[in-house]
């Protein structure tokens, strides 16, 4: 049977979720490093709400919620198996029961309509999976009203050919798709194959 790219991506995600369940090892070095960067940035900008788009098993929202009891934290992803893990871990810390301030929900980055006015929106390694990056970017910039932090993998694996891009991309490809008049003071940097775009309003 021929596996379509989207199925392949779904299978990868399921496999990852199962591995997390089996090993209990939810963090690897790069996860921890990315979390530290965003945690430090959140401490500087002090948003009242935080959203991670494409949160996988929700490690970053959990860390933000633990470090900043005053912030309402959201993590969205399209793979329910990941969100099950995120919620199980969240239960362990009683963050949902006691404070009702850490939420994970199944949602697509192309339609963030249940979110309005989020102070800090972050997305790491997710936009390159989009079949319509312009729409995904417009959703992120629509809901974000203060600080945005995006990391995009420019060297896209061909197995994700269901996304908009099937080959390596350049920073300009992504910058040209940002919504006009977004109102953010944006900076971007390319390090290796990672494009980081960050901005403040």
Ligand X SMILES: C[S@@+](CC[C@H](N)C(=O)[O-])C[C@H]1O[C@@H](n2cnc3c(N)ncnc32)[C@H](O)[C@@H]1O
Residues that bind ligand X (CB under 6 A): 13, 31, 34, 53-56, 76-79, 82, 108-110, 124-126, 129
Report angle CA 42, 47, 50 to the nearest 5 degrees.
Answer: 80
Nearer to ligand X, 95 or 126 (CB): 126
Tell which residue, 57, 60, 59, has the closest CA to residue 39: 60
Measured over the CA atoms of residue 55, residue 59, residue 61 and residue 64, the dihedral's sign is negative
The least distance separating ligand X from the CB of residue 4, rounded to whole angstroms, comes to 15
| CB-nearest residue to ligand X | 54
The least distance separating ligand X from the CB of residue 58, rounded to whole angstroms, comes to 9
The least distance separating ligand X from the CB of residue 190, rounded to whole angstroms, comes to 18
Nearer to ligand X, 119 or 139 (CB): 139
The least distance separating ligand X from the CB of residue 129, rounded to whole angstroms, comes to 4
Nearer to ligand X, 60 or 181 (CB): 60
The least distance separating ligand X from the CB of residue 94, rounded to whole angstroms, comes to 24
Tell which residue, 50, 45, 42, has the closest CA to residue 121: 50
Nearer to ligand X, 110 or 201 (CB): 110
Give the CB-side neighbour count of residue 43, counting CA atoms within 13 A.
Answer: 9
Residues 104, 65: contact at Cβ < 8 Å? no
Nearer to ligand X, 49 or 55 (CB): 55
Per-residue DSSP letter, 143: H
> In whole angstroms, how large is the CA radius of gyration of the chain?
16
Residues 36, 59: contact at Cβ < 8 Å? no
């Amino acid at each position: 049977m021929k596996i379509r790219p989207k199925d392949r991506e779904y299978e990868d995600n399921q496999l990852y979720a199962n591995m997390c369940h089996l090993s209990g090892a939810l963090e690897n070095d790069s996860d921890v490093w990315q979390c530290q960067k965003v945690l430090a940035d959140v401490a500087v900008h002090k948003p009242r709400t935080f959203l991670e788009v494409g949160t996988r098993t929700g490690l970053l929202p959990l860390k933000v919620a633990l470090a900043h009891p005053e912030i309402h934290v959201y993590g969205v992803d399209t793979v329910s198996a990941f969100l099950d893990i995120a919620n199980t871990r969240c239960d362990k810390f009683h963050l949902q029961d006691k404070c009702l301030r850490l939420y994970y929900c199944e949602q697509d980055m192309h339609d963030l309509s249940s979110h309005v006015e989020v102070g800090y929106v972050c997305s790491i390694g997710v936009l390159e999976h989009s079949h319509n990056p312009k729409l995904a970017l417009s959703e992120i910039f629509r809901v974000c009203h203060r600080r945005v932090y995006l990391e995009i993998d420019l060297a896209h694996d061909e197995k994700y050919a269901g996304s908009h891009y099937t080959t390596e991309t350049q920073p300009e490809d992504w910058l040209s798709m940002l919504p006009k008049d977004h109102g953010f003071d944006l900076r971007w940097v390319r390090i290796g194959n990672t494009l980081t775009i960050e901005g403040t309003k």
